[in-house]
């Protein structure tokens, strides 16, 4: 009777697919209604749990192949009866959860990937039940029980039993939490879905425990009572028809959920980037609040997966794709949360009044936090890969030649890292200080894990690897205690001695207790030398604090004062020594002139670089 009913349902479905006309309008209306009502159904709590029939649900008996097979068939039959009666499958219901646990406890799912273990186990269980419903099972007394195992010489002699005429094996588990239990073997679990596809055309057997169309119900039944009432009024082609392996009625809800999840993640990250930069400098607490946005983005894939699995009851390969993608996206989003949290921890520590935010200690804290976040991020990535069934850690550990190649390729990275540590230890400069090294002269803007960014006086930015900086001779202009000026005044050789003495006294007077004078470094003025260009008066002074623009303003003021004083005393400055060459005969050709400079007479540069 049940077999004929199933065939009629199949014929009815084919007939519905062939109809068109007014049904197209009805189908479109149903899709729109379903997409709108799905959101409301997702937040409504299901009705009270269905009252349990008979006695309380008990754990699966897996002490022998017979007990395991009987527990499995009985539990699947209970689920089939409830689904046919209620028209939905609520995984959160205690009754469903207990019966479903009995079914899963009969399977050895230790080798299934963790990200879809429960979902895959559910599909395997349904496929196994469909296979058993099409298989001629031996009488129960011919299936080994505990007494038969003892009679055969113990579990060592009867550790496996295969259902005759099938590839379904029940084997004794020797490791793991279900040790010493007889379960459907890992090989059976692995090939159950493919095996069912092969035997699906076979007719059901005529037995009381047969559950016809269980697999079809598994793929199409909703997971919420309110949603079940909506699906019940849809056309048959939407209830039972499938598009790309998914029930037709599930596509509107899936697309709406996917769209909402995508918009939520994009909005969360946009808000995070906007308010992070705005609140970073205003308040540490506000800066911490912005981490809620990446946390919401990280949780969104899990919420989407929960909606797809619980309410839409997505099954099979579509569910595995959703589970894999959601977990992978959440893993990368979690890495972003780790990096964001490490930055905020570092900034919270640097906000302490005992730490200079521009000092190297602050940079060291930032670098350590970055290293810690990288380690934590890689750890999360490896754990996520293992959860998804990707043996990332095994591949890295057993890379062999590949690992050696990676090690050689990482030499520059390690060299740069050690250069960074050397800079942190020596502390030759900090952010905001002006340094000179090689051909570069500029202000340090950032000391990173790999490189240092310097803003040149021309306005250009230079990025220098830290290992190169650690090996360079660095002149830190930003740490000079003063600006020193060395000046020379040349007086003509025909100037009387009295005026030379007056010139020296004038310069000393102008520099006496001058602006910015360091008491420990008073100015020095001397009649230094007799040169070919004139009498040389040399002077030194040290200006503090070392602020270049104030220093240059004072230098200009001093120069004018000395100039005016020399004019008042009629003391002239020596003009440069010049020679004029000419020739009388133009036919002799151009005059060959060579200028030989006396390097000993070149003045040394002042320490007044701006």
Query: pLDDT tens digit string along 139-164?
Result: 998 899 888 888 887 777 888 899 99
Whether 183 shows a pLDDT value over 80: the answer reads yes
pLDDT at 463 over 80: yes
* Neighbouring residues of 487: CB distance < 8 A, sequence distance ≥ 6: 538, 539, 540, 606
What does the pLDDT read at residue 200? Answer: 86
Q: Report how far Cα 485 is from the mean position of its chain's Cα atoms.
A: 53
Q: How do residues 16-51 score in pLDDT, each as one tens digit? A: 334 444 444 434 444 433 343 343 344 333 333 333
Tokens of 78: 């209970």
459, 451, 384: which is closest to 420 by C-alpha? 451
463 or 607, which is more confident?
463
Who has greater pLDDT, 472 or 542? Answer: 542
Confidence of residue 528 (pLDDT cuts 50, 70, 90): very high
Non-local (6+) Cβ contacts of 215 within 8 A are: 126, 127, 130, 196
Q: Select from 469, 415, 472 the least CA-distant residue to 447.
A: 469
Of 397, 57, 446, the C-alpha closest to 455 is 446
Return the closest-CA partner of residue 235 out of 527, 386, 26.
26
SS3 (DSSP) at 225: helix
Q: How confident is the model at residue 88 (pLDDT cuts 50, 70, 90)?
A: low
Please name which of 354, 356, 362, 352 lies closest in space to residue 424, comparing C-alpha atoms. Answer: 362
pLDDT given at position 508: 93
Q: Which two tokens stand for residue 41?
A: 């159904």
Nearest to 381 by CA among 368, 367, 400, 396: 396
Q: Exposed, middle or buried by CB within 10 Å (0-12, 13-18, 19+), for 373?
A: buried
Which residue in 497, 501, 494, 606 sits closest to 559, CA to CA? Answer: 606
pLDDT of 443 > 90? The answer is: yes
Among the ranges given (136-150, 313-327, 448-462, 560-574), the one the predictor scored with the smallest mean pLDDT: 313-327
Q: What is the mean pLDDT of residues 577-591?
A: 55
What is the structure's pLDDT at 34?
39
Report the Cα 231 to chain-centroid distance in Å: 40
For residue 347, give the nearest of 422, 277, 292 by alpha carbon: 277
| Long-range pairs, 355-361, Cβ under 8 A, ≥24 | 356/430, 358/430, 358/431, 358/432, 359/430, 359/431, 360/423, 360/424, 360/427, 360/429, 360/430, 360/447
Cis peptide upstream of residue 472 (ω within 30 degrees of 0): no
pLDDT digits (tens, 9 = 90+) for 103-143: 889 999 888 877 768 778 888 898 999 999 998 899 998 89
Domain 480-588, CATH among 3.30.70.100, 3.40.1050.10, 3.40.50.10310, 3.30.460.10: 3.30.70.100
**Mean pLDDT, all residues of the chain:** 78
User: Do residues 551 and 541 lie in contact, with contact meaning Cβ atoms separated by under 8 Å?
Assistant: no
pLDDT recorded at residue 506: 93
589: left (phi over 0), alpha (psi -120 to 50) or beta: left
User: Which one of 48-57, 77-86, 466-475 scores highest in mean pLDDT?
Assistant: 466-475
User: Is the confidence at residue 244, as pLDDT, over 70?
Assistant: no
73-82, 317-326, 334-343, 586-595: which has the minimum mean pLDDT? 586-595
| Domain boundaries along the sequence of the chain | 45-223, 250-398, 423-478, 480-588
Q: Are strands 440-447 and 434-437 parallel, antiparallel or unpaired?
A: antiparallel
Contacts 24+ apart (CB under 8 A), 278-284: 280/347, 284/344, 284/347, 284/348, 284/351
Identify the band that residue 324 occupies on the pLDDT scale cut at 50, 70 and 90: confident
- Report d(CA 461, CA 455) in Å as an integer: 4
Query: pLDDT tier at 216 (50, 70, 90 boundaries)?
Result: confident
Average pLDDT over residues 80-104: 77
| pLDDT greater than 70 at residue 609 | no
| CA–CA–CA angle 184, 188, 190 (5° rounding) | 120
The Cα–Cα gap between 137 and 140 comes to 8
Chain centre distance of CA 226 = 38
Is 107 in contact with 184 (CB distance < 8 Å)? Answer: yes
**Cα gap 345→2, rounded to integer Å:** 65
Residue 568 confidence (pLDDT): 92
Rg of the chain (C-alpha set): 43
Q: What is the assigned CATH class of domain 423-478?
A: mainly beta
Residue 607's pLDDT is what? 65
């Amino acid at each position: 009777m049940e077999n004929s009913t199933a065939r009629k349902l199949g014929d009815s479905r084919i007939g519905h697919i062939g109809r068109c006309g007014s049904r197209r309008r009805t189908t479109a209306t149903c899709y729109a209604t379903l997409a709108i009502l799905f959101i409301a159904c997702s937040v409504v709590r299901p009705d009270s749990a269905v009252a349990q029939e008979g006695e309380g649900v008990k754990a699966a008996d897996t002490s022998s192949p017979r007990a395991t097979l009987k527990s499995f068939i009985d539990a699947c039959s209970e689920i089939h009866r409830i689904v046919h009666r209620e028209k939905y499958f609520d995984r959160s219901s205690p009754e469903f959860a207990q019966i479903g646990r009995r079914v899963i406890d009969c399977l050895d799912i230790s080798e299934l990937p963790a990200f879809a273990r429960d979902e895959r186990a559910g599909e395997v269980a349904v496929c196994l039940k469909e296979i058993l419903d099409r298989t001629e099972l031996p009488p129960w007394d011919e299936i080994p029980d505990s007494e038969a195992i003892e009679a055969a010489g113990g579990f060592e002699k009867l550790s496996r039993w295969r259902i005759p005429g099938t590839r379904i094996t029940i084997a004794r588990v020797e490791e793991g939490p279900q040790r010493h239990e007889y379960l459907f073997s890992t090989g059976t679990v692995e090939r159950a879905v493919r095996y069912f596809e092969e035997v699906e055309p076979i007719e059901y057997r005529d037995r009381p425990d047969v559950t016809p169309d269980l697999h079809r119900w598994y793929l199409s039944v909703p997971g919420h009572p309110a949603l079940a009432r909506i699906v019940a009024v849809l056309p048959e082609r939407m209830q039972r028809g499938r598009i790309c392996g998914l029930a037709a009625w599930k596509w509107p809800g899936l697309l709406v959920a996917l769209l909402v999840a995508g918009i939520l993640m994009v909005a969360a990250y946009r808000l995070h980037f906007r308010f992070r930069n705005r609140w970073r400098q205003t308040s540490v607490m506000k800066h911490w609040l912005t981490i809620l946005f990446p946390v919401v983005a990280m949780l969104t894939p899990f919420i989407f997966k929960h909606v797809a699995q619980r309410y839409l009851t997505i099954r099979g390969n579509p569910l595995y794709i959703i589970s894999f993608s959601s977990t992978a996206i959440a893993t990368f989003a979690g890495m972003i949360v780790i990096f964001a949290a490490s930055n905020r921890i570092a900034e919270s520590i640097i906000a302490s009044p005992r730490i200079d935010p521009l000092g190297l200690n602050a940079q060291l804290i930032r670098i350590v936090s970055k290293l810690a976040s990288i380690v934590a991020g890689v750890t999360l990535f490896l754990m996520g890969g293992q959860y998804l069934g990707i043996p990332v850690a095994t591949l890295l550990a057993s890379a062999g030649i590949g690992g050696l190649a990676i090690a050689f390729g990482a030499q520059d990275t390690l060299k740069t890292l050690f250069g960074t540590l050397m800079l942190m230890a020596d502390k030759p400069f900090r952010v905001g200080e002006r340094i000179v090294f090689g051909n570069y002269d500029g202000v340090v803007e950032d000391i990173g894990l790999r490189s240092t960014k310097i803003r040149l006086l021309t306005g250009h930015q230079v990025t220098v690897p830290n290992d190169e900086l650690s090996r360079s001779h660095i002149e830190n202009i930003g740490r000079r205690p003063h600006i020193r000026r060395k000046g020379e005044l040349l007086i003509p050789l025909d100037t009387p001695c009295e005026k030379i003495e007056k010139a020296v006294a004038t310069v000393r007077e102008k520099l006496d207790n001058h602006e910015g004078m360091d008491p420990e470094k008073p100015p020095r003025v001397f009649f230094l030398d007799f040169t070919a260009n004139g009498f040389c008066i040399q002077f030194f002074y040290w200006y503090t604090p070392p602020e270049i623009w104030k220093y240059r303003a004072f230098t200009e003021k001093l120069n004018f004062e000395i100039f005016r004083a020399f004019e008042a005393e009629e003391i002239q400055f020596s003009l440069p020594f010049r020679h004029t060459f000419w020739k009388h005969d133009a036919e002799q050709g151009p005059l060959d002139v060579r200028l030989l400079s006396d390097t000993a007479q070149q003045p040394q540069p002042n320490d007044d670089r701006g």
